[in-house]
């Protein structure tokens, strides 16, 4: 059963949730425009040519869904729960939960997409030439569907991220070196090279003949190359973050804090924090239970002359009682614990319950990006 939302169309295909943003219609229009001339030779009018092009574009869009379903199906076979399939303007993405780090499984899941596209393409080509298709217009649409899917499969198999072939290359390097981040870096750099070569391949035929490149080739080639180059850059950033994950710890990133009552004047709370060499202030109730955390921006916004009359509780944000992290948490264990209870700030505590300090999500993000405090 499908349902329409403000951002697109969502439905389920068996166990897989599928989302199609309205921007996907742009992709259908672009594909129809690019393939329009291929149907003019069998159409009786320009209107019929446009209709055939749109029919082809819609069917091609559905074959992209088939491509993503292949990823999802193989991911399920590998024991990875699939969260969703999203179809974009000229591609798609299958999100799944990687339960174990396995280069072999990652490579097989990635390879399933291009293989499925080529199989779909070969099948469409075979049917297009069969005697059971007497209508030349139907045969032409099937022929175009076959050619486009074979091309999509081959293109997607190119060895560079963010393409599926890049994910396979990443898995191979990962399997050989036992280093996933290194595999990502190698495949991402190859992706940058592929991005440049794709643009060159589209404009070179005209340049080699001394002609100015066709405007459509320049625009389309630029769009595809920009997408590939951007995806490769994102993969490189992801690899840098992955290398930093093992080195982050809750204890090291926690800001030393003092505990104060909510009605304590801000000036006094700041004095106590300075005396203790702390940078954070945790508000506690009468029983000593943490209830809020003073917000640095709000504290800084209070003029110095007003701080003796402003209670620290008025510049604090309520604390989720579940937002407490063991001081010894590190790496992915720390990130998983934060993901389980999303919050802006967390209390970091020892095994016995003693307060170590306050951990800010922003500080964790800064540490992963390489811009954290020293």
CA torsion through residues 196, 202, 203, 207, sign: positive
Residues 164 and 25 in one domain: yes
User: Could you give the CA distance from residue 99 to residue 254 in angstroms, rounded to a whole number?
Assistant: 29
Q: Are 11 and 1 in contact (CB under 8 A)?
A: yes
The mean pLDDT value for 116-140 works out to: 92
Strand bridging mode 82-87 / 16-21: parallel
Which of 185, 216, 246 is the last residue before a domain boundary?
Answer: 246
Tokens 């505990």 belong to residue: 259
Closest CA to 146 of 73, 38, 229: 38
pLDDT for the residue numbered 5: 43
Residues 65 and 53 in one domain: yes
Residues 129 and 116 in one domain: yes
Q: Please give the residue range of the domain that contains residue 270.
A: 250-369
pLDDT for the residue numbered 129: 85
Q: Are 62 and 56 in contact (CB under 8 A)?
A: no
Residues 226 and 358 in one domain: no
pLDDT for the residue numbered 372: 61
* Inside any domain, residue 239: yes
Structure-model confidence comparison of residues 131 and 306, the more confident one: 306
Is the pTM here over 0.85, yes or no? no
Residues 239 and 286 in one domain: no
For the stretch 57-84, pLDDT in tens is 999 999 999 999 999 999 999 999 999 9
Q: In the chain, what's the furthest Cα-to-Cα distance?
A: 91
pLDDT for the residue numbered 1: 34
- Least reliable range by pLDDT among 190-199, 204-213, 270-279: 204-213
User: Could you give the CA distance from residue 200 to residue 228 in angstroms, rounded to a whole number?
Assistant: 14
For residue 241, pLDDT beyond 80: yes
User: Could you give the CA distance from residue 10 to residue 3 in angstroms, rounded to a whole number?
Assistant: 6
User: Could you give the CA distance from residue 263 to residue 320 in angstroms, rounded to a whole number?
Assistant: 20
CATH code of the domain containing 279: 3.10.580.10
DSSP 296: H
Two tokens at 183? 């595999």
CA torsion through residues 115, 116, 122, 125, sign: negative
Residues 200 and 346 in one domain: no
Residues 121 and 184 in one domain: yes
For the stretch 145-198, pLDDT in tens is 999 999 999 999 999 999 999 999 999 999 999 999 999 999 999 999 999 999
Residues 151 and 167 in one domain: yes
Looking at the structure of the chain, the number of domains it has is: 2
How does residue 122 score in pLDDT terms, banded at 50, 70 and 90?
Answer: very high
The mean pLDDT value for 192-216 works out to: 91
Which of 212, 246, 280 is the last residue before a domain boundary?
Answer: 246
Residues 290 and 196 in one domain: no
Residues 239 and 339 in one domain: no
For the purposes of burial, counting CB atoms within 10 Å of the CB of 242, is it exposed (0-12), middle (13-18) or buried (19 or more)? middle
* Inside any domain, residue 374: no
How does residue 100 score in pLDDT terms, banded at 50, 70 and 90?
Answer: confident
């Amino acid at each position: 059963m499908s349902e329409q939302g403000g951002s697109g169309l969502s439905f389920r295909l068996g166990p897989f949730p599928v989302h199609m943003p309205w921007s996907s219609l742009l992709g259908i229009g672009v594909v129809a425009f690019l393939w329009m001339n291929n149907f003019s030779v069998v159409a009786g009018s320009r209107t019929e040519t446009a209709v055939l092009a749109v029919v082809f574009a819609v069917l091609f869009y559905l074959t992209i869904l088939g491509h993503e379903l292949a990823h999802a199906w193989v991911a399920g076979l590998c024991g990875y729960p699939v969260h969703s399939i999203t179809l974009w303007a000229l591609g798609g993405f299958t999100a799944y939960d990687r339960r174990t780090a396995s280069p072999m499984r990652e490579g097989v899941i990635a390879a399933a997409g291009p293989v499925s596209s080529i199989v779909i393409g070969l099948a469409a080509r075979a049917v297009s030439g069969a005697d059971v298709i007497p209508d030349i217009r139907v045969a032409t649409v099937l022929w175009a569907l076959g050619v486009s899917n074979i091309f999509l499969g081959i293109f997607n198999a190119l060895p560079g991220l963010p393409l599926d072939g890049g994910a396979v290359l990443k898995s191979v390097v990962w399997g050989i070196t036992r280093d996933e981040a290194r595999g990502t870096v190698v495949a991402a750099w190859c992706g940058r090279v592929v991005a440049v070569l794709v643009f060159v391949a589209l404009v070179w035929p005209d340049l080699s003949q001394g002609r100015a490149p066709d405007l459509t080739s320049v625009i389309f080639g630029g769009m595809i190359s920009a997408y590939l180059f951007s995806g490769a850059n994102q993969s490189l950033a992801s690899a840098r973050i992955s290398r930093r994950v093992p080195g982050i710890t809750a204890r090291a990133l926690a800001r030393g804090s003092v505990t104060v009552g909510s009605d304590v004047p801000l000036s006094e709370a700041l004095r106590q924090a300075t005396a203790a060499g702390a940078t954070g202030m945790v508000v506690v109730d009468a029983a000593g239970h943490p209830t809020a955390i003073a917000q640095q921006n709000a504290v800084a916004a209070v003029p110095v002359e007003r701080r003796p009359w402003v209670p620290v509780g008025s510049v604090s944000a309520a604390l989720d009682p579940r937002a407490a992290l063991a001081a010894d948490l590190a790496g992915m264990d720390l990130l998983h614990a934060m993901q389980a209870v999303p919050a802006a700030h967390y209390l970091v505590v020892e095994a016995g319950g003693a307060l170590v300090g306050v951990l800010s999500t922003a500080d964790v993000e800064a540490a992963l990006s390489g811009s954290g405090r020293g």
